[in-house]
Amino acid sequence: MAVKAVIDLPKDLYQTLSSHGLSKEMISKETKKLLALKCYREKILSLGKSSELSGLSLWEFIEFLGENNVAVIDYSEEQLEKELKSVERLRKALKS
């Protein structure tokens, strides 16, 4: 079940956007993408849920994040250190 959210634009603003080739559908699509980006950046939604909100595939959304300088993986220094230690342990285990 979907819930419809509506944005109101002043008529002159819509006409300006429309004159630049933005249809109502395009405005809606771009608005959803930007909302998804904001929700992901602020850790409101997961990567998967943000992708779903944006209407993009997961990989398209990851690309969109990159185009907007939003990190997909945002580890703290401590988390990154733990991950690197795990990788090193796995590397050593695979060598033996």
51-68 pLDDT tens trace: 999 999 999 999 999 999
Instruction: Say what the pLDDT of residue 18 is.
Output: 95
In the predicted structure, residue 2 carries a pLDDT above the cut 90: no
Instruction: Say what the pLDDT of residue 74 is.
Output: 73
Q: Which two tokens stand for residue 7?
A: 């944005």
Rounded to whole angstroms, the Cα distance separating 3 from 52 reads 14
Instruction: Say what the pLDDT of residue 75 is.
Output: 75
The residues near 22 (Cβ < 8 Å, ≥ 6 apart) are 30
The residues near 58 (Cβ < 8 Å, ≥ 6 apart) are 47, 48, 51
In the predicted structure, residue 24 carries a pLDDT above the cut 90: yes
